[in-house]
Structure 1
């Protein structure tokens, strides 16, 4: 999958990459680290624990957190960072909310704190 979201309520698989840029805003929970790169609206997800679960990032843009964009890293902890590009969905200069989640199937095993940032071009 390309990792590019196409509409609200998007659920995409992450693409392998080197990692988020220095200064990216992040959320963390047991087994998952997720970051937001506001220049380009990319979300970075890393599985940090070899436990059979997978890592995900849930995000929204707008006035409240709804978790309607999901970036999943199902490749395991030895793969490292992966990202999803939501630039076609998030309007410039919008408030973006996200959190890291460790998942089992469609169920959440643990969640990080919800953090926010402004998107930019």
Structure 2
């Protein structure tokens, strides 16, 4: 009975953590931007950058300034899908968000610097032009 109660408490804790999940978070945090050197479409802002990697439908998002702001790739497709890839790893790090987009479509994005996941934007770049996904 005690083990079953402990297991149920663990599941309840996990469920609570899942319910609090916010926008897509970058999944890696390592110190060098790879996508920028690979000929992908990149956009730079004072404090960070984002690159769209068409092979694999990914965004690389990097932080270049110790200012406490998160760097976000705010994106949308020409078929109505949109999202945000958030990186919170700190200055000198980057992360990757992996999406599954329609290969026969296009995407555009901008770099947003924000105080928190849902706070006001501190700054944002202009949108890129439409980029082929596939």
Settle same-fold status: TM greater than 0.5: yes
Higher helix share: 2
Three-state SS of the structure 1 residue aligned to 2:38 is: coil
Q: 1:14 maps to what in 2?
A: 26
Q: Which runs of 4+ in 1 moved over 4 A?
A: none
Using the size of structure 2 for normalisation, the TM-score is 0.71
- TM-score normalised according to structure 1 size: 0.78
Any conservation in 2 of the 1:54–1:74 contact (CA below 8 Å)? Answer: yes
Alignment of 1:88-107 (within 5 A): 90-105=101-116, 106=118, 107=120
Task: Considering fraction of residues, name the structure with more strand.
Answer: 1
Q: Which one of the candidate residues 58, 62, 67 is aligned to 1:42?
A: 58
Which has the larger Rg?
2
Q: Larger RCO: Structure 1 or Structure 2 (Cα < 8 Å, ≥ 6 residues apart)?
A: 1
Pairwise CA distance, 1:33: 0.3
Alignment of 1:1-121 (within 5 A): 11-16=23-28, 19-20=34-35, 22-62=38-78, 68-78=82-92, 80-87=93-100, 90-105=101-116, 106=118, 107-115=120-128, 116-120=130-134
List per-residue Cα deviations over 1:15-69 (Å, max 9, x = no partner).
Answer: 11552151110112111200000111000100110011111110011167x8x31
Pick which of 13-22 and 43-52 moved more: 13-22
